[in-house]
Amino acid sequence: MKFKTSATFLVLFFSINIAFCIAQTSTDSTNARLINGISFKQDSSLLVNFHFRIQSRFGFISQNLQNVFPGNFDLGIRRARLFFDGHVYSKKLTYLLQINFAKRDLEEDIGVNHILRDAMIWYEAWKGMKVGLGQGKLPGNRQRIISSGALEFTERSIVNNAYNLDRDAGLFANQLLMIGKVGINIKTALTSGEGRNAGISDKGLATTGRIEILPFGKFTGNNDLEEGDIEVEKNPKLCIAAVAHYNDLATKTLGQTGRVLPTARYLHAYMADLLFKYSGFAFSSEYLYRGVNNPFMDFNKQGYFSVGDGLNTQMSYYFENNTNIAFRYAITRPDSLLVNLVPHQKQYGLCVSKFINHHKIKIQAEIQFNEESFRKNGVLINQNIKQYMAGFLQIELGI
């Protein structure tokens, strides 16, 4: 017992000190921006940009709040990826190819290893209008369309994990309109609905639409596609977005991902999110909902679609020494038919990140408080409440 207590305090002391050191470290401004990838260029007809990134993680999950000694450790490579982008023949004809190698990054579908993540061909039909064919991210919730390498926490929220749209293969179209200083970004997709690396699709298809309103104009650079106000916006920037998604004849528990079920269903999803950034301060919030007419496969309730809703809210501040402190509150609620099978989840998080080259090279220390309980209309069904802490130290290195 003394050993467990001592080890627990050692782990907590280690994590807190790392977070403090990260926050206090300064970065030489001359090294703040490093080259983004390696480029090969052949006149104006060919451009190949090569990138890689690695996420190495050390973490622990406590047994409960009374005994914070680690019940599990999280040690290893969370992500290891190679990706290429550029243009061929014309600057209007672009591409993106991304593959992954880490085991935890491969097994997103039960029993299936997906090495290929993105394989997209894009053509700029006219200014602000791009059409694409291939496999890529659906225009779903903001945290999903943001790269996992551009997060201000070590991982996406529990809400995203439960109800996001992930990737799919098919036709994509993006249109950016500017009406004065106001931006309107429309993103659409007509896809197979089967998810990544699927074979021949059934006759059911998935349709997805996302509309973004930017009342104060476009964000600086790609600041709307990375968490934290790293660009330190000189003027307030705001994006309000809504998403609608319909997947006919879906057979996977999460729509595009998850375990394959024997009977197809018509899934629908609705989402809304908000992003605000100004002078180092960032605030984001997103609501996700997934529904189905009947989540169960049979009367024994042995197989079911994962449906319900959730809310994730994050707030952060980016300091002059390239340190970012972020807070998170997230909650998920299963559909009323699943309340005896799927727990409500609640999560509070604090993460301190030290950026060496934006999100390309960074060190992150995170602490979480998690709760899982079975509720109906907000009322506890039973007293089986699981509460635990988790802590993570993660290093990201990429070009």
Tokens linked to 151? 């997060």
Q: Which pLDDT tens digit goes with each residue over 40-60?
A: 998 889 999 999 999 999 999
What's the mean pLDDT when you consider all of the chain? Answer: 89
Alpha helix ranges (H) inside the chain: 2-24, 103-106, 142-145, 158-163
Q: Which pLDDT tens digit goes with each residue over 64-82?
A: 888 777 888 989 999 999 9
The boundaries of the domain holding residue 333 are 2-398
Indicate which CATH number applies to the domain containing 50: 2.40.160.10
- Does residue 15 surpass a pLDDT of 50? no
The pLDDT score that the predictor gives to residue 384 is: 86
- Does residue 9 surpass a pLDDT of 50? no
Total number of domains constituting the chain = 1
Q: How many CA atoms lie within 13 A of 337 on its CB side?
A: 14
Does residue 206 contact residue 246 with C-beta atoms inside 8 Å?
A: yes
The pLDDT score that the predictor gives to residue 37 is: 86
Q: Is the pTM of this model over 0.85?
A: yes
Average pLDDT over residues 275-289: 98
Read off the amino acid at residue 160.
N
